[in-house]
Amino acid sequence: MRDVAIVGIGLSRWGEVWDASLRTLWTEAALAALDDAGLDRVDSITVGSMTPGLFVGQEHLGPLLADELGMAGVPATRVESACASGGVALKTGFAEVAAGLADIVLVTGVEKMTDVSGDECTAALAAAADAELEVFYGATFPGLYAMMARAHMARWGTTREQLAMVAVKNHRHGALNPHAQYRQEITVKDVIESAMVAEPLTILDCSPITDGAAAVVLAELGVARTIAKGRPIVRIAGVGQATDRIALQSRADLTTLPATTLAAQRAFKMAGKTPNDIHLAEVHDCFTIAEILVVEALGFCKPGQGGCQASSGRTALGGEIPVNPSGGLKSKGHPVGATGVAQAVEITTQLRGVAGKRQVAGARVGLTQNMGGTGASTVVHILEVAS
Partner 1 sequence: MSPLNPARVAREFPTRYRLEAARCDGCGAVSFPPRVVCPACRGRKFATVSLEPEGKVLTWTVIHVGPSSHKHEVPYALAVVELAGGVRITCQIADVDPARVEAGMPVRLEFRRIQEDGEAGVIAYGHKAVPA
Residues 185-244 that bind partner 1 (CB under 8 A): 195-201
Contact status: 165 vs partner 1 (CB under 8 A): no
Which of 146, 308, 329, 380 is in the footprint of partner 1 by CB under 8 A? Answer: 146
Q: How far is the CB of 51 from partner 1 (least distance, A)?
A: 11
Q: Is 286 a catalytic residue?
A: no
Which of 47, 104, 139, 286 binds partner 1 (CB under 8 A)? It is 139
Residue 250 binding partner 1, by CB under 8 A: yes
Closest-CA residue to 10 (of 88, 115, 110): 110
- Tally of CA atoms within 13 A in the half-sphere of 224 that contains its CB: 24
249 binds partner 1 (CB under 8 A): yes
151 part of the interface to partner 1, by CB under 8 A: yes
> Which of the residues 60, 83, 179, 381 is marked catalytic?
83
Residue 353 gets the label, from left (phi > 0), alpha (psi -120 to 50) or beta, of left
The residue among 54 and 355 lying less far from partner 1, judged by its C-beta, is 54
By CB under 8 A, residue 248 contacts partner 1:
yes
Shortest Cβ 153–partner 1 spacing (Å): 9
Listed in sequence order, the residues at least 6 apart from 143 whose beta carbon sits closer than 8 Å to its beta carbon are 198
350, 325 Cβ separation under 8 angstroms: yes
Nearest approach in angstroms of CB 131 to partner 1 is 7
CA nearest neighbour of 45 among 111, 93, 98: 93
57 binds partner 1 per the rule CB under 8 A: no
| Residues 228, 17 contacting (CB under 8 angstroms) | no
The smaller minimum CB distance to partner 1, of residues 146 and 223, is found at 146
Element (H, E) at 146: helix 141-156
Q: Is 346 a binder of partner 1 (CB under 8 A)?
A: no
What spatial distance separates the first Cα and last Cα of the chain, rounded to whole Å? Answer: 18
Let me know if 171 is a catalytic residue. Answer: no
Q: Which residues contact 216 (CB under 8 A, 6 or more apart)?
A: 6, 8, 9, 10, 33, 90, 93, 107, 341, 344, 345, 348
Question: Can residue 353 be called a binding residue for partner 1 (CB under 8 A)?
Answer: no
Q: Are 344 and 90 in contact (CB under 8 A)?
A: yes
Which of the residues are catalytic?
83, 334
Which residues are at the interface with partner 1 (CB under 8 A)? 119, 122-123, 126, 131-140, 142-143, 146-148, 150-151, 154, 195-201, 245, 247-250, 254
